Amino acid sequence: MSKQTRGKVYRIILAGSGRVARHHVQAISYQEKQGRARLVAVCGPDQAGAETLLQKHYKGKRSRVAYYPDLTAALAQEEADLVAIATPSGTHKDLGLEALGAGCHIFVEKPLAMTYEDGLTLAEAAAAAGKKLALGHKYRYLPCMADLASDIQAGKFGQVYYGSVILRWGHNQAYYDRAPWVGTRAADGGVIMNQSVHAFDLLRWLMGLENQPLLATRGFASTQSHVMESEDLSLGVFSFAGDRYISYEGTTSSQPDRQQVELFICCAQADIRAGILGKKPHLSIRSQGKEQRRPYLRRYFSQLVCQEGFKGLQVVKNPHVAIYTDLLAAIAEDRQPLASSPAGLSSLEMVEALYRAAGIIA
């Protein structure tokens, strides 16, 4: 994240008012306090949900944030620079194209779209319009990840051999029963599309494989413990150029009170482990018989406090703060955000490859 000076205040429309939208409102509120942005409207069919969200975070200032039933109405009435799309995954492409057509930059929650083809359409539209596209691949914005990716890709730890990810992100049946679209193939997907896409993005990026061809995929998928259209278990192995591999296990059938994601990268000169267990992140970098984690943590927090002040520590609680900070800086500096189109497309490529290997799509 680069230090931003006071300047343009970016006007934001938030599409959606559900579970993820609250993270957006918290992050936008932080940007408002920093003088960088202002939430001008929230839109979507759930007016009660939108009102609850706004009352909670804006209280006496609720009247300065408008509500509209859909994005079309919001764009017709409000001047906006950025549209944040926190709606069901199956709506991302169409809403993104509409926002780009209105001259706005876009922040799209993961996944970029429900198919690689639709994701490519959206990425190409953003490029053609000269607008920034940021993605909600929040794992990239966790402490130390950017510095670690840079060092791995620069060869600091020698050749990268393989990586593995275990994602046990348990959900009960109520999670899938909360709305008709949840867990469907057309609008949401299962553990591969909905939960694992974060890990696919982070691991492929850390290993320097984002722009490397995916050569082959083997995998399985099943629906074991939930009543839903999509899968709640998946297993896979991905092979890339240069004799590099990623192994994968993902499930939402594990215990919901102990959600876990664990990543491992084997390099010639280091074993790297990172993950989250019960909302607590951890990082281990073992190289040449020594633990190398502390220098990364010192560098990360020193940079964060220098750039954002102690209020910037909110990033650790809500990575969306860092995504917005990076996106607004990217707009001002005319560069690409840390998580942009290549992130969305490379992770979607892995999702579709695993679906094909499992026989879910042709």
Other C-beta atoms within 10 Å of 24: how many?
27
Give dist(CA 20, CA 349) in Å, integer.
Answer: 24
In the predicted structure, residue 6 carries a pLDDT above the cut 60: no
Structural contact between residues 234 and 197, judged by C-beta atoms closer than 8 angstroms: no
Mean pLDDT across the chain: 93
pLDDT (tens digit, 9 = 90+) per residue, 56-102?
887 766 678 999 999 999 999 999 999 999 999 999 999 999 999 99
Whether residue 333 is predicted with pLDDT greater than 90 in this model: the reply is: yes
Q: Percent of the chain having pLDDT more than 90?
A: 83
List Cα–Cα distances, 174 to 108, 179, 182, 226, 252, in angstroms: 26, 9, 10, 10, 12
Residues 283 and 52: their CA atoms lie apart, in Å, by: 37
Residue 79: half-sphere exposure toward Cβ, Cα within 13 Å: 3
Residues sharing a CB contact under 8 Å with residue 48, sequence separation 6 or more, in sequence order: none
Dist. CA 51–CA 42, nearest whole Å: 9
Listed in sequence order, the residues at least 6 apart from 219 whose beta carbon sits closer than 8 Å to its beta carbon are 234, 235, 236, 237, 248, 353, 354, 357, 358
| pLDDT digits 0-9 by tens, 348-361 | 999 999 999 999 99
User: Cβ atoms within 10 A of the Cβ of 90, count?
Assistant: 17
21-34: average pLDDT: 93
Are residues 352 and 116 in contact, defined by beta-carbon separation less than 8 angstroms? yes
333: left (phi over 0), alpha (psi -120 to 50) or beta: alpha
Token output for 24: 């957006």
Name, in order, each residue with C-beta under 8 angstroms of 155's C-beta and a sequence gap of 6 or more: none
d(CA 277, CA 79): 42
User: If pLDDT is split at 50, 70 and 90, which confidence band does 302 have?
Assistant: confident
Q: What angle do CA 254, 259, 260 make, to 5 degrees?
A: 100
Distance separating alpha carbons of residues 303 and 282, to the nearest angstrom: 19
208-232: per-residue pLDDT in tens?
A: 999 999 999 999 999 999 999 999 9
Over 50: is that where the pLDDT of 259 sits?
yes
Distance between CA atoms of 22 and 317, rounded to whole angstroms? 13
Q: Which two tokens stand for residue 124?
A: 């190409």
Extract the tokens encoding 290.
């020594």
pLDDT at 1: 39
Tokens of 54: 């706004």
Structure confidence at residue 115 as a pLDDT band (50, 70, 90): very high
Torsion of CA 350, 355, 361, 362, to 10 degrees: 70
Angle value at C-alpha 262, between 257 and 263, nearest 5 degrees: 160
